[in-house]
Amino acid sequence: MTRADFLRARSPEAKAAREAEILAAAARLATTKGVREVTVTAIADEVAMHKSAMLRYFETREDIFLRLAGTAWHDWSVEVRSRLDAIAPCPDAETKKWAETARSISATLAGTLVARPLFCDLLAHTPLNLERNVSTDTVRTFKKGAFAEVDSIADTLCALTPLDANQARAVVTTATSMAGALWQMAAPGTQLRAFYETDPELSHSIVDVEPRLTDILSALLTGYATRSTRTGGR
């Protein structure tokens, strides 16, 4: 990169373009190698910048990935709410229709998460380290955005089921928390996963995330919905 290139990046438009370039590079590397393995230097090399110059745009490596996590939350929320809107409401958990509805909702939540490998990886790393090496203002912005998406999805779930707002939010947070944890256990595309697959004694360590998560969410939805139906929502 030339000095002229760097100076042009001082304009608001150029700065935004450079930030987008850095974020895209980090996403590419993390999708291939996993969030854990991607360093600041690797991202800087990917965009042909010196590390010190790149850190003029973001506080830290964690800041870059936390920004990606915020975008991923929004994108997932938009998709999952669109898919949930196609499911017919079932306000009573004691009807024959409920099992089908609960399974459809659970499969939608699980399927849309598993279809976003980077998001699943980011979900695991967010509480572990991404929120711990950035400013409190950055954490606040991320948290408020994520909470808003949880509330939006929860509102959609409340319209489909007997769940109250707190129960619906718990379903969403369980879905995302478990997706992050199960994704790490599954270790897709890693030497560890290959090791599990070649050793019959360790085959139980292989986690198939989507059906496992679907089962967990279906059980949680049914438990909450049954309680709400029998207590009249109290």
Residues 141-177 pLDDT 10s: 999 999 999 999 999 999 999 999 999 999 999 999 9
> Is 231's pLDDT higher than 90?
no
Q: Is 40 exposed, middle or buried (0-12, 13-18, 19+ CB in 10 A)?
A: middle
CA 64 to chain centroid: 15
- Read off the DSSP letter of residue 206: -
pTM of the model: 0.88
**Up-side HSE of residue 6: CA atoms within 13 Å toward CB?**
12
Each residue of 172-194: pLDDT tens digit? 999 999 999 999 887 766 676 66
Greatest CA separation for the chain:
69
Q: Are 98 and 225 in contact (CB under 8 A)?
A: yes
Integer CA distances (angstroms), 177 to 18, 100, 127, 184, 207, in order: 31, 24, 10, 11, 15
> Tokens in use for 32?
């291939």
CA-based radius of gyration for the chain:
21
Contacts of residue 61, Cβ cutoff 8 Å, sequence gap at least 6: 38, 39, 40, 43, 133
pLDDT tens across 53-69, in order?
A: 998 999 999 999 999 99
CB atoms within 10 A of CB 1: 12
